[in-house]
Amino acid sequence: MAEKAERLPRARRSAPVYAGVLIGGASARMGSAKHLLKIGAQSWLERTVGQLEGAVAETVLLGRGEVPASLAGLRRLADVPDVSGPMAGILSAMRWARRGSWLIVACDMPQVSREAVDWLLSLRRRGVWAVMPRLGEGQPLEPLLAYYDFRSRPLLERLAASGCFRAAEIARSSKVVTPVPPAELAKAWTNVNRPEDLAGPLGNR
């Protein structure tokens, strides 16, 4: 028994961490696919994938969106059926790698940074099933630049089975932590939904 108790924490530490980039949205408010908008010569998607390189075991594209030729070699997973919104991509990822943990990243956060990714992953520890930041006290949770340990999958599955497709609802569990990122990292959680939002520093130039 003592031997088994020692092995469990080691197994958790050795579980691979993947990144899943959500590209299945309709981008209705933007009027064109957000992940293909450009930052200089790069698409938002190419920039996001670049920020994830070296931080995770593998970056996987989640959804049916068009992909630049430079990223054609990345693994792609289709959304699960009968589930709507980003939850369809998150569950697809977690069902594909049942013993893997996931850094989930939306395609409309063009200021995501390696520093923000490293901060999220630094909060992994025993007893924490997900890290879902909020940008300040009383602010909404940010489930689409967040860390999901493999142990959070049953929470998500139960939520989806109930007909609720809002991943942030799992934060009701005491196993989910909701920290405020350091101020210098907060811009990584800025999402861009409409053409008028493109005036920012990483807009469509």
- Per residue in 32-58, pLDDT (tens digit) is 577 778 777 789 999 999 999 999 999
Establish if 26 belongs to a structural domain.
yes
The model's pTM is 0.85
Per the structure, the count of domains in the chain is 1
Establish if 89 belongs to a structural domain.
yes
- Tally Cβ neighbours within 10 Å of residue 94: 24
Give the per-residue pLDDT at 8.
40
CATH number at residue 79: 3.90.550.10
* pLDDT at residue 88 greater than cutoff 60: yes
In one-letter notation, the amino acid at residue 129 is W
* Residue 30: domain span: 16-168
Establish if 174 belongs to a structural domain.
no
DSSP state of 141: B
* 105 beta partners: 21, 145
Establish if 61 belongs to a structural domain.
yes
* pLDDT at residue 168 greater than cutoff 70: yes
3-state DSSP assignment of residue 47: helix
